[in-house]
């Protein structure tokens, strides 16, 4: 068993996290991750209302007695989101771990602290991580350029970003971006992390609530099968490569184009409905990381976690130890 600051402070068996994923992080997947001994993050805004989130939290509790978290991603939106009400649903639901992402979590920290909730904040740069630490979060999930979703504008991969963060932070660090197997876990621990975060790997599991076509496409794809979109608008985001994301990249290259020219292609609702639910792999934009190149099968969460931990222990205990003179 691998014991780290993260496993000890957050009360989980293995140093593995399934971070929040829109349209994917629902009770079936998160309970399965928890039962496998890892930390799963239920995605708050996948639920249409705070009341629906409260019901989804209870569904997880009905399926597991292990710790789990809720992801609360705070972003500017056209339609106002009642973030305070989602936060209160988390607290009232008795959840003791929250993963925040996007904007500054400071307005919500007093409420979480008063309720004894530990906060993991996702950051894409060391400077952002240091600010979150000063605000009083309990851990940092540091996202390298390989990750799905928004890696920021610095383009720093995990091989540099993880040890750079570890050298300056005093709280536990979760390495995120491009990790999908025991080699990634062992490597992240060697670089100074206390755990790893995986999203794309958990999409390719039996319990993930998405169409089988998506899972099979992840297995079929290699590490080159992503696009980085929205770079022109300084909101870079890594997604799976398909005809839609190829078209977005091409439109962005054209002189004078604006976000309005790609808005219909990039719509999140389109990706969730046409791709994740219906399985049309060119029906919209969908998120995936470079870790696709490391995923070779769809398997139950319990088997994914067990194999990753076993492989990491093998690497640490035998392969690396055997290199010592």
pLDDT-derived band at 12 (thresholds 50, 70, 90) equals very high
For residue 323, give every residue at least 6 positions away whose Cβ sits within 8 Å of its Cβ, in sequence order, or none.
none
Q: What percent of the chain has pLDDT above 90?
A: 94
CA dihedral angle for residue 144, residue 150, residue 153, residue 158, rounded to 10 degrees: 0
What lies within 8 Å, CB to CB, of 35 at 6+ separation is: 63, 64, 66, 301, 302
Contact 7, 182 (CB under 8 A): no
Taking a C-beta distance cutoff of 8 angstroms, is the pair 176, 188 a contact?
no
Using alpha carbons, select from 73, 64, 78 the residue that is nearest to residue 98. Answer: 73
Per-residue pLDDT band at 102 (split at 50, 70, 90): very high
Rounded to 5 degrees, what angle do the CA atoms 8, 205, 200 make?
75
Tens of pLDDT along 203-248?
999 999 999 999 999 999 999 999 999 999 999 999 999 999 999 9
Taking CA atoms, 233 is separated from 28, 145, 255, 258, in Å, by 35, 17, 13, 8
Q: How far is 280 from 273, CA to CA, in rounded Å?
A: 9
Model confidence pTM above 0.85: yes
Domain 5-209+299-323 has CATH 3.30.70.1350: no
pLDDT for the residue numbered 243: 98
Q: What size, in residues, is the chain?
A: 325
The domain segmentation of the chain, as residue ranges, is 5-209+299-323, 226-287
């Amino acid at each position: 068993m691998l014991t780290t600051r993260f496993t000890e402070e957050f009360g989980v068996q293995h140093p593995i996290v399934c971070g929040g994923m829109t349209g994917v992080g629902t009770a079936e997947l998160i309970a399965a991750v928890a039962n496998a001994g890892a930390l799963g993050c239920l995605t708050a805004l996948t639920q249409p209302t705070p009341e629906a989130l409260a019901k989804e939290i209870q569904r997880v509790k009905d399926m597991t007695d292990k710790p789990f978290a809720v992801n609360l991603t705070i972003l500017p939106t056209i339609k106002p989101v009642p973030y305070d009400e989602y936060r209160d649903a988390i607290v009232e639901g008795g959840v003791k771990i929250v993963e925040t992402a996007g904007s500054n979590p400071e307005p919500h920290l007093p409420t979480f602290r008063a309720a004894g909730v530990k906060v993991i904040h996702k950051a894409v740069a060391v400077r952002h991580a240091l600010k979150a630490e000063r605000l009083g979060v309990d851990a940092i999930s540091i996202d390298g350029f390989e990750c799905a979703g928004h890696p920021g504008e610095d383009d720093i991969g995990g091989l540099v970003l993880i040890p750079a963060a570890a050298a300056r932070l005093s709280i536990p660090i979760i390495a995120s971006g491009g990790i999908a197997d025991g080699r990634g876990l062992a490597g992240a621990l060697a670089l100074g992390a206390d755990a790893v975060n995986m999203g794309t790997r958990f999409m390719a599991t039996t319990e993930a609530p998405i169409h089988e076509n998506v899972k099979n496409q992840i297995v079929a794809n290699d590490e080159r099968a992503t696009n980085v979109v929205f770079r022109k608008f300084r909101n870079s985001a890594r997604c799976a490569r398909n005809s839609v994301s190829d078209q977005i990249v091409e439109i962005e290259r054209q002189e004078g184009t604006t976000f309005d020219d790609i808005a219909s292609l990039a719509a999140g609702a389109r990706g969730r409905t046409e791709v994740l639910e219906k399985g049309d792999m060119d029906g919209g934009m969908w998120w995936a990381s470079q870790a696709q190149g490391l995923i070779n099968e769809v398997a139950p969460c319990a088997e994914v976690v067990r194999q990753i931990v076993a492989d990491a222990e093998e690497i640490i205990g035998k392969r690396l130890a055997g290199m010592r003179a």
